[in-house]
Amino acid sequence: MDGFDPRTSFGYEESRRYDATDTRGDEPETVAFLARLAAGRDALEFAVGTGRIALPLIRAGVRVDGIEQSQDMVDRLREKPGGQDLQVTLGDMSSAGTGRTYGLVYLVYNTIGNVITQDGQVRCFANAARHLAEDGVFVLECRMPTSPARPGRQFVEAQHIAVGQVVLEAGRYDPVTQVLDQTHIHISADGIDLRPLSLRLAFPPEFDLMARLAGLRLRDRWGGWTGEPYTSTSWRHVSVYEHS
């Protein structure tokens, strides 16, 4: 997207809005799944954000560290109860290191897509593998791409219509780069507010190849956090990788 910089897409304004708009309602199941896999070992969250998952996971008894690119998101995390209790390394999850290994590394909420090149995503898998203990697991949760199948690979959707406000989502997918450029457009009497985001979309088999390049292999794949089978109609996947 012209003018889009993935390093600044979660800046001050987005960090202030994040917890109000980006809570998904599946946090308890996510935390139960991750706590079970951690099995008493320490965990590392790539792109820890405001601690939507890390904080309840800590409350469930897991020691969690984080890597995060946005100082603003980390500032919001630090303001929350328990937000001082985890070590966060500020940097890019495809290269930054914490200097140790973990029983669980996880990357959820489609955030692999925030790395908008294939090379970057490959490096992200390699960095996850570097942080995994010998018997550790890397958990990736991501939506299945739908934009490639849209007519003309583009769309405008009315996400919310109220008397005083309309929220539209406009998107265009480029099959060459596999990048979806999308913008949430908030229109109200206060004016027009644009919230742009670019995401690189990939289907699970491409992620499995990235895992192989990193010396990992797929151990399990689910259609959700509660052990739903992964099928041709799954809208997302929860993939668990281990050292091969």
Neighbours of 39 (CB within 10 A): 11
User: Among residues 58, 88, 115, 128, which is the contact residue for ligand SAM, using CB under 6 A?
Assistant: 115
State the Cα–Cα distance between residues 61 and 107, nearest whole angstrom: 19
Extended strands (E) in the chain: 43-46, 64-68, 88-90, 102-107, 132-143, 154-161, 165-174, 179-188, 191-200, 216-222, 236-243
Q: Which is closer to ligand SAM, CB of 4 or CB of 166? A: 4
Neighbours of 137 (CB within 10 A): 25
Q: Does the footprint of ligand SAM cover residue 31 (CB under 6 A)? A: no
Q: How far is the CB of 152 from ligand SAM (least distance, A)?
A: 27
Q: Does the footprint of ligand SAM cover residue 114 (CB under 6 A)? A: yes
H runs (alpha helix) in 39-133: 54-59, 71-79, 118-130
Q: Does the footprint of ligand SAM cover residue 52 (CB under 6 A)? A: yes
Site for ligand SAM in 69-108 (CB under 6 A): 69-70, 73, 92-94, 108
The token pair that represents 56 in the structure block: 């309840």
Question: By CB under 6 A, which span of 44-52, 76-84, 168-176, 218-226 interacts with ligand SAM?
Answer: 44-52
Q: How many amino acids of this chain bind ligand SAM (CB under 6 A)?
A: 20
Q: How far is the CB of 81 from ligand SAM (least distance, A)?
A: 17
Q: Please report, as ranges, the residues that interact with ligand SAM according to CB under 6 A.
A: 6, 10, 47-49, 52-53, 67-70, 73, 92-94, 108-109, 111, 114-115
